[in-house]
Structure 1
Amino acid sequence: MDFRSSSKWSRLFVFVWVIVQYIQHSHAELPGTWELLVPDAGISSMHTSVTRFNTVVLLDRTNIGPSRKMLPKGRCRFDKDDPILKRDCYAHSAVLDLQTNRIRPLMILTDTWCSSGQFLPDGTLLQTGGDLDGVKKIRKFSPCEANGLCDWVELQDVELVHGRWYATNQILPDGTVIVVGGKGSNTVEYYPPRKGAVFFPFLADVEDNQMDNLYPYVHLLPNSHLFIFANNKAVLYDHETNKIIKNYPPLDGGPRNYPSAGSSAMLALEGDFSTAVIVICGGAQYGAFIERSTDTPAHGSCGRIIATSDEPGWEMEDMPFGRIMGDMVMLPTGEVLIINGAQAGTQGFEMASNPCLFPLLYRPDQPHGLRFMTLNPGTVPRLYHSTANLLPDGRVLIAGSNPHYFYKFNAEFPTELRIEAFSPEYLSPDRANIRPVIEEIPETVRYGDAFNVFVSVPLPVVGILEVNLGNPPFSTHSFSQGQRLVKLTVTPSVPDDSGRYRVGCTAPPNGAVAPPGYYMAFVVNQGVPSVARWVHLVG
């Protein structure tokens, strides 16, 4: 008998494995460190994005009753249809200043529960859909300096064609944003709006009574087509002609999308940018959501596929832990941090148990079977409605976790208002002497441009200095919408008379490799990234 097929034996196996890890390693010996940034943010962030002003937008639902943060100067939201508060003077969105860790409340008018988002080329955060009065709404947040007064603006002259609850957004090569799917919406549409919505039969074909076509994984490939994954299937989609070009083989292990709660990332684009590799990890056992089982062990399988291959196939491997609701964060080095989530249950209110406190580092260039490294565990469970975002200094911001319908603090897993940061091993003190500093970089670059980056490093440079561009995605429900990392073509670094190093770079060739917008530009020396500088990539 395969003991992993038994719920009882699977839980025993996981328990024994964790005990062995504790015996073999003290926490201090495992890579990575944790720090508490904000003891009480006032809201639990369901949706999180980092702006080019080094601030972080935190966003929750509006129909949860009181948050723990008041709106300033007596501002209130009036909604006769709100089931809890008709006059709501509490914040449900906020901005975090990374310099001071201060929180500034924002005003959001309509319900953003399980909505979607993406940054536009000018750095404005586009936010679409939600539930109830927000299901067709389009909102914008134009970020400003941390001491500014920028706030949410809800568009009055245009709205979505179809309601979008649990949809996914992806910026396209021309700066347009495609909005894919949503509960009961087997269509795609665009912002700026085109003529109506377009039926997308793939979403209807993969839908089952578990709803696993929600929050589909959407990745823009460097050939300009979209890799779209829902349930356990994927297609190559030409968004310009609305045609499915290719059907990929199904992924073993059952459904992965909401509410099965796997996660996905596209690995770094590099070289001639002709190859794109997609990784999908974790998820609930089929039936866990239907049966509302909180203790069914999650599976830990990962599938990896070359999405641009003529004959693509899934390469399977197993994580050290079964995991649902994990977040996959592209690090500046090209490695992937897998963090947050639980080891049993499924996505949904109060439907998970056994928090997975151990982050994992996925190292794409290592041989099969050696790609996962277990990292230093946290202490705060991060379950349903938690998020993870890369910060410009290389840390990863961890926010949210509200496994309850309303804010609830007297519970085994209470609503979480703390905000933390996880520092990967590359930020450890013993690597400070090889950490580069960007001294000079253009603020704006055009596709295909050659430009120079000037860098200082405490110790002499050995090897190639990488220059990598990472965009700020919209993190929600275990998937970072629009996330990508592009490794630029560079020349070997050359020291100048002032002791700096000059690195010659070539900007991405087009918007399919890197859509227009603001990127965090990192210089990486021997696996250690600099603090990023924001670069505006334009056509």
Structure 2
Amino acid sequence: MDDISHCCFSSLSILITAILASVGSVFTASWATGDSGASNGSIGGGRWELLLENAGIASMHTAVTHYGTVVMLDRTNIGPSSINLSDGRCRYNPLELALKVDCSAHSVLFTPETRSLRPLFIYTDTWCSSGQFDASGTLLQTGGDNEGVAKVRRFTPCPPDDVCDWEELDAPALQDGRWYATNQLLPDSRHIVVGGRSVFTLEFLPPNGQAKTFLPFLQTSSDEQTDNLYPFVHLLPDDTLFIFANRDSIVYDYRMNTVVRALPRIPGEPRNYPSAGSSVMLPLRANESYARAEILVCGGAQLYCFLYPAPFPNASQTCGRLVITPAEEQQPEWEMDYMPFRRAMGDMLFLPTGDVLIINGAQNGCQGWDNARNPAFYPVVYNPDAPLGARFTTKAPSTIPRLYHSTANLLPDGRVLVAGSNTHQFYTYSGSFPTELRVEAFIPDYLHEAFNMMRPVIVIAPERVVYSQPFNVYVYVNDTVQGELELNMVSSPFTTHSFSQGLRFLKMKVERQIELGEGDGNLSFFQLHATAPPSPTVAPPSYYMLFVVNQGIPSKAVWVQVIYPSA
């Protein structure tokens, strides 16, 4: 056994005994939410569960920490929220536009397991800001509006029973104030911050003496309503960046400040804010040496919808898929597909299986205050491996409209946390589409009780893995395993305005699957031998959720930190 797995068992029998001793509690605790109490939908469609009646804020920015807690964040210049700061604290900010003295919280920390909520203290305005976790699991958060436009903030997570809070950094500050920008973690652990309203530059954090860089593409991709905001940025496995804005995209060498390739324009409508499509880079696969990168862009809105929202034109119903690497001799072409529903403001995220969930949004209109109608209540799942025309399945609908400023994030237990929605400039609790403070979970099909016996349980896994180094995962399955188990690794993004910044999915290879023994009934115990991602261009150093999947049924994730050998 390797040192990384921290397994000190001297024999197979001792290992199996240890697993048997821990299996019962692990299995029960991991899947307490997997019962059959379906109120919306059935085994074929998933179901919904209300987690919080009142989170205190409408979360326009949401991120899941490696402790499993959830950071929720709104703007500050919105007036009082519905949750007060603790211990009599108040925020005194003479530059604040709404309240100079504000005793309410505009950020909270939610613990899904206990459904507990703790107010956090944020000082400068975070309206339409950006962020991403760094190599240590700290959330770096940048920009916003008003006095927060050039601010850098930091949230260092802690266990749920400890106390941690936001820090406003005096230095570094952003070189350009950024509102509606996008962040991406780089292989060297820096963040690149791209674009913003009327800002056509990018910069690095920490800057390490490097000045901001003008990127003409950010200017030429604009239009009358600036549909190039919150650009879709994905780190490609060859250490270049895919940058998409409006309907255009490039491959960009951020080290040399050169455009490697200008890619073809996607057919159809504008796709970025305020037209509000979404994007993911499809899973990188070990059996392809993690070298093939494909981009998926779905949804959007009609041009001029933001400038002239009524009569709320139809949102886009199309998805485009483009192969980026390895580079081909011929220019790649967008492969177009149709979603079951039109959708703007949809959130795209990965399920533990590598399928893409598209959730939230509206079928008419676009982003902005009261600019949308006809909520898209039905989530859909996109299977990247299915043939064209057969990739979408429709799931059970929510009953809560999730429009402008809503979010969706994968939880380690396989549920999807859904929060936010505020189509108004201030908190408004009456009229059409009121400010939404409820938090719910979409529970996919694989958490139905019918699959409990097939669900793997990770008993022992490494806390850290080193690039290209082998590691072992020990798994319990309460049923017969047919074929190979899967190992999938997914990052935790910063989700806002229909784009999950830093989202990344790796389909790893199980190199050896050894059955260690059997327990009572059909209990089976396995050692899975795998190799960590080969480089930080494939998986930038950070925390990832590691899932084991048995015939489409995922385990609860364990958090694994991917590190350099010297870390």
The answer, yes or no, to whether TM exceeds 0.5 is yes
Whether 2:80 is the aligned partner of 1:66: answer yes
221, 230, 234: which one pairs with 1:215? 230
86, 89, 94: which one pairs with 1:80? 94
**2:459 aligned residue:** 439
CA separation in 2, counterparts of 1:458 and 1:165? 50
Q: Is the 8 A contact 2:43 2:448 kept in 1?
A: no
For residues 404-463 of structure 1, the C-alpha deviation after alignment (integer angstroms, 9 at most, x for no partner) is: 000000121010000000011111111111100001111111000111111000002111
**1:286 aligned residue:** 303
**1:252 aligned residue:** 267
3-state SS in 1 of match to 2:452: helix
Q: CA 1:29 to 1:501, structure 2 compared with 1: closer, same or farther past 3 Å?
A: closer
After the TM superposition, list the runs of 4 or more consecutive aligned residues in structure 1 that deviate by more than 3 angstroms: 26-30
**1:430 aligned residue:** 450
Q: Is the 8 A contact 1:216 1:257 kept in 2?
A: yes
For residues 500-538 of structure 1, the C-alpha deviation after alignment (integer angstroms, 9 at most, x for no partner) is: 101111110001110001011000110111000000100
316, 327, 330: which one pairs with 2:347? 327
**2:415 aligned residue:** 395
For residues 365-391 of structure 1, the C-alpha deviation after alignment (integer angstroms, 9 at most, x for no partner) is: 111000010111010000000000000
CA separation in 1, counterparts of 2:453 and 2:229? 46
Deviation at 1:30, TM superposition (A): 4.7
253, 260, 263: which one pairs with 1:238? 253
3-state SS in 1 of match to 2:349: strand
242, 254, 273: which one pairs with 1:227? 242
Q: Is the 8 A contact 2:269 2:316 kept in 1?
A: no
CA separation in 2, counterparts of 1:83 and 1:115? 17
123, 127, 143: which one pairs with 1:109? 123
Q: How many residues align?
A: 514
CA separation in 2, counterparts of 1:294 and 1:121? 46
**1:531 aligned residue:** 556
CA separation in 2, counterparts of 1:127 and 1:81? 20
After the TM superposition, which residues 470-489 of structure 1 pair with which residues of structure 2 at under 5 Å, given as runs? Answer: 470-489=490-509
**1:298 aligned residue:** 315
**1:54 aligned residue:** 68
85, 92, 99: which one pairs with 2:106? 92
3-state SS in 2 of match to 1:259: coil
Whether 2:392 is the aligned partner of 1:367: answer no
Q: Is the 8 A contact 2:237 2:538 kept in 1?
A: yes
3-state SS in 1 of match to 2:317: strand
3-state SS in 2 of match to 1:433: helix
CA separation in 2, counterparts of 1:48 and 1:84? 23
Structure 1 spans left out of the alignment, 5+ residues: 1-25
**2:33 aligned residue:** none
3-state SS in 1 of match to 2:442: strand
After the TM superposition, which residues 139-538 of structure 1 pair with which residues of structure 2 at under 5 Å, given as runs? Answer: 139-194=153-208, 195-270=210-285, 271=287, 272-293=289-310, 295-308=312-325, 309-310=327-328, 311-497=331-517, 499-538=524-563
Q: Which amino acid aligns with 1:290?
A: L
CA separation in 2, counterparts of 1:116 and 1:514? 20
Q: Which moved more, 1:509-518 or 1:285-294?
A: 285-294
Q: Is the 8 A contact 1:166 1:181 kept in 2?
A: yes
3-state SS in 1 of match to 2:153: strand
Structure 2 spans left out of the alignment, 5+ residues: 1-39, 519-523
3-state SS in 1 of match to 2:340: coil
3-state SS in 2 of match to 1:297: coil
Q: Is the 8 A contact 2:143 2:174 kept in 1?
A: yes
Q: Is the 8 A contact 2:41 2:47 kept in 1?
A: no
Deviation at 1:219, TM superposition (A): 0.4
3-state SS in 1 of match to 2:159: coil
Q: Is the 8 A contact 1:339 1:359 kept in 2?
A: yes
Deviation at 1:492, TM superposition (A): 4.2
Q: Which amino acid aligns with 1:381?
A: P
Q: Is the 8 A contact 1:294 1:352 kept in 2?
A: no
Q: Which amino acid aligns with 1:346?
A: C
Q: Is the 8 A contact 1:396 1:422 kept in 2?
A: yes
3-state SS in 1 of match to 2:299: strand
| Aligned CA-pair RMSD | 1.1
- Percent identical: 54
CA separation in 2, counterparts of 1:55 and 1:187? 33
Q: Which amino acid aligns with 1:159?
A: A
**1:3 aligned residue:** none
3-state SS in 1 of match to 2:297: strand
Deviation at 1:494, TM superposition (A): 1.3
Deviation at 1:273, TM superposition (A): 0.7
Q: Is the 8 A contact 1:48 1:387 kept in 2?
A: yes
Q: TM-score, normalised by structure 1?
A: 0.94
117, 121, 143: which one pairs with 2:135? 121
For residues 263-296 of structure 1, the C-alpha deviation after alignment (integer angstroms, 9 at most, x for no partner) is: 0011111021110111000111112112123521
Deviation at 1:175, TM superposition (A): 1.0
